[in-house]
Amino acid sequence: MYKIFTDFKEKVNFIDKFLLIFIVFQPFLLATSIFLADLFSSISGIILIYIFFKKKISFFRIIRKEIILMISFYLIILTSLLFTEYFKISFLASFFYFRYFLVSLSIFYLLKKYDFFITIFLYSLMFTILIVLIDALIQYHFGKNLFGYDWPGRVYEVSPNFKYITGFFNEEKKLGSYLVRFLPLMLAAIYWKEKRYNNFLGDCFLLFVGIIVYLASERTALFLYFIISASYLLINKNKLRVISCLVLVFGLLFYLQPELKDKYVKFTIKQIEGGYTINGKSNNSLPNDKTGIRYYSYEHENLVYTSVKIFQENYLFGSGVKTFYHECNNLKKGKLKELAQNNRKNKMMCSTHPHSSYFQILSDIGVFGLVVALYFLYYVVLNEIGNETKLYQ
């Protein structure tokens, strides 16, 4: 630890010190203050732009293809902003979207320039995730977390007694989502630093994050968690230990938390089959006819259906970033007011977003945005397969 502080003091120049501090605090701020997280992101971006043009850092050339893809995606977002009917609503989210790219490039810059940055960033991630996990457990056992946030409420669709934890995020159901998005980054940092396939520290964090994700009652987050776990097993030599622990832990959770098990299994199956019950009574607002297997649920399928209808009206550049709700209401009141249902009895449903990243891209920024996003996904997966092949040769 002393060597890290010495290196930071002696090897990092004045500008880079500010950049490093702003980046290191990002994980914690994203859990505690979105305003400060956005502020630090913006400042980091400004610093990186200064470094890029002032010092002409040559090693950015090795990721020029990724940078071109990022710039292309951002230009499509700006073009969508020019054509949207909701300029004031979409402006902030669209114009300042570049800060996410610049934060990523800032991390890349620090990783390439300073060997000890990976250690500092790893400590930041571990400290933040550990605090989030402890806080969530406190809320689970005592009903309130470190900030005094109570249980956020009940989900009556599952059971009158059903509750879930949210930790630092108060009434927002983001705890599981937050953890599963930082988990692979932390596992990668642990592996990079330790250079070992069977790192015990990584195994422990994987298990404890899984417990909290399960207790947070976020099905998408739990699904992503199992994908991350499967990917982690590919580079872990002690697969039997990890699999055994996962089976044991989740088996106990299913046994000790039957209401959560019902939420993840029975409730999901009922939604996929086309309906569910509230307090044991049938929900008559949902179709009970045999329409086949649903996409996740009737409501989610309706949101996807709505995003497709919005796309059909704005197929090149979409309706604009964060305009899903407004465009949905506009179409329902306007020419699609009398829109006939399809053979699956779907109807337009307005929400803040369609609960699907790719359908949101499709409705918000159109076909060009979706093509770039899918190509970027293809590019990352292709490179990952290539790296895995080299690893096992």
For a pLDDT cut of 70, what percent of the chain falls above it?
79
Report pLDDT for 178. 92
Q: Distance (Å, rounded) from C-alpha 161 to C-alpha 284? A: 23
Report pLDDT for 128. 93
Bigger pLDDT: 42 vs 286? 42
Report pLDDT for 153. 55
Report pLDDT for 285. 47
Q: Are 111 and 118 in contact (CB under 8 A)?
A: yes
Could you tell me how many helices (H) and strands (E) the chain has, helices first? 17, 2
Encode pLDDT of 112-165 as tens digits: 888 888 888 989 999 999 999 999 888 888 888 888 877 665 544 455 556 778
Report pLDDT for 143. 80
Q: Domain boundaries in the chain?
A: 1-114, 116-273, 274-391
Backbone φ, ψ for residue 53 (5° rounding) = -85, -30
Q: What is the largest CA-CA distance in the chain?
A: 71
In angstroms, what is the C-alpha Rg of the chain? Answer: 23
The pLDDT confidence band at residue 75, using thresholds 50, 70 and 90, is very high
Strand partners, 144: 150
Report pLDDT for 381. 73
Report pLDDT for 387. 56
End-to-end Cα, the chain, rounded Å: 36
Q: Are 98 and 73 in contact (CB under 8 A)?
A: no
Report pLDDT for 250. 85
Alpha-carbon torsion 162, 168, 174, 177, what sign?
A: negative
Q: Are 76 and 365 in contact (CB under 8 A)?
A: yes
The pLDDT confidence band at residue 249, using thresholds 50, 70 and 90, is confident
DSSP-derived secondary structure for 303-322: HHHHHHHHHHHSTTT-S-TT
Q: Are 348 and 331 in contact (CB under 8 A)?
A: yes
Report pLDDT for 300. 78
Structure tokens at 212: 């909290």
For a pLDDT cut of 90, what percent of the chain falls above it?
12
Q: Is the pLDDT of residue 274 over 70?
A: no
Q: Are 160 and 142 in contact (CB under 8 A)?
A: no
Q: Distance (Å, rounded) from C-alpha 1 to C-alpha 127? A: 14
Question: Which has the minimum average pLDDT: 74-83, 105-114, 196-205?
Answer: 196-205
For residues 264-269, average pLDDT: 71
Q: Tell me the pTM.
A: 0.79
The gap from C-alpha 244 to its chain's centroid, in whole angstroms, comes to 27
CA angle 333, 338, 344 (to 5 degrees): 115
Q: Distance (Å, rounded) from C-alpha 148 to C-alpha 157? A: 26
For residues 15-33, average pLDDT: 89
Q: Is the pLDDT of residue 393 over 50?
A: no
Neighbouring C-alpha atoms within 13 Å toward the C-beta of 231:
17
Structure tokens at 367: 């076909």
Encode pLDDT of 216-227 as tens digits: 888 888 889 999
Strand partners, 163: 154
For residues 175-189, average pLDDT: 90
CB neighbour list of residue 211: distance below 8 Å, 6 or more residues apart: 249, 253
For residues 193-208, average pLDDT: 76
DSSP-derived secondary structure for 189-204: HHHHHH--SS-HHHHH
Q: Is the pLDDT of residue 44 over 60?
A: yes
Alpha-carbon torsion 114, 228, 365, 348, what sign?
A: negative
For residues 86-107, average pLDDT: 88
CB burial string 27-64: b at 16+ within 10 A, e below: bbbbbbeeeebeebbbebbebbeebeeeeeeeebeeee
Q: Are 364 and 313 in contact (CB under 8 A)?
A: no
Q: Is the pLDDT of residue 290 over 50?
A: yes
The pLDDT confidence band at residue 74, using thresholds 50, 70 and 90, is very high
Report pLDDT for 134. 92
Report pLDDT for 25. 92
Structure tokens at 357: 């990243």
For residues 53-80, average pLDDT: 82
Question: Which has the minimum average pLDDT: 2-16, 82-96, 283-297, 375-389?
Answer: 283-297
* Average predicted confidence (pLDDT) for the chain: 80
Cα-based distances in Å from 334 to 99, 157, 315, 317, 366 = 36, 33, 18, 20, 21
